[in-house]
Amino acid sequence: MTTTEPIRVAVLDDYQRVALTFADWSPLHGRVKVDVFTETLHDEDALVERLKPYAIICAMRERTKFPASLLDRLPNLKFIATTGMQNRGIDVAYANEKGISVSGTGHAGDSTLEHIWALILATARHVVHEHAGTKAKRQLWQTTVPTGLASKTLGLVGLGKLGIKTAKIALAFDMNVVAWSPNLTPERAAEAGVGFIATKEELMQLSDIVSLHIVLSERTRGLIGAKELALMKPSAILINTSRGPLVDEDAILQVLQTKRIAGAGLDVFDVEPLPLDHPFRDLNNVTLSPHMGYVSDDNYKLWWSQTVENIVGFLDGVPQRPLRILT
């Protein structure tokens, strides 16, 4: 691909302003002009205004969505380089129909697994609350009683690769681990060394900690709603590092506001970044993180270096790591 003017590249949603420092972009010097954006836009008209000049867009996971309606309004777009080898925020099939190539990257380490346990431990042990009080020079030395994990029951909604790894760590804490998902069988649960639960309702009633490890789809949207949350123990904790819409946000907000359960650890939300005036920000029984489950230095080094490789491949007519179409 040749042109007299450098091809314009947009790097989107680089919240930490690190995309250009975690990789060597010199192979693209003189071939492209790179602009970096740190603010996520949700309004489609605003996105079109921002992105219309760009032939290449670098997407960070699903922070900015690319449905067919947006792709139709970006006439200059020829290539999307996204991080990871799956991105449900991009209509890959439609992009390909329009002649827009989409490439992804590999991943490094187990950052999501690490973050799951960071949230479980921080929430169960009230780390954020006690940290804030200690830093604020609170006179009362201790104000909360942590929840011990040994002998407690961890209920996994979903038992894929990540769920199995989460279970292994729970067993090291001497927890009981059970699992349920729409397609889980007793045999698969037994292979993973966890107890099989036949119904979602039973898992919600039995578990001291419920952690979600299931893919968001039209079938699983709102999987945990008011009815399910009402079944949880008053001492129970909900952990969500998967996708926000798996849980009815109004329902979990009401449960937390009324202290119907002990707390929650949330890394994902219906709208991201979480609006500044969102009620979650005012609660003292929820541990919040800004969708950092997949974020790590190791991942960023691999993602951005392979993003550069993918752009070079596109420019040279040698596609790298084409994204598969999800069904």
Q: Which residues are catalytic?
A: 243, 272, 291
What is the distance, to the nearest Å, from the Cα of residue 197 to the centroid of all Cα atoms in its chain? 26
**Token pair 């209920």 in the structure block, residue:** 155
Q: Running DSSP on this structure, what letter comes out for residue 61?
A: T
**Other CB atoms within 10 A of residue 316 CB:** 11
Q: Considering only CA atoms, give the Rg of the chain.
A: 22
3-state secondary structure of 9: strand
Half-sphere exposure of 231 (CA within 13 A, CB side): 15
Angle between helices 161-172 and 111-124 (to 10 degrees): 50
| Dihedral sign, Cα of residue 276, residue 277, residue 279, residue 281 | positive
Centre a 10 Å sphere on the Cβ of residue 73 and count the other Cβ atoms it contains. 15
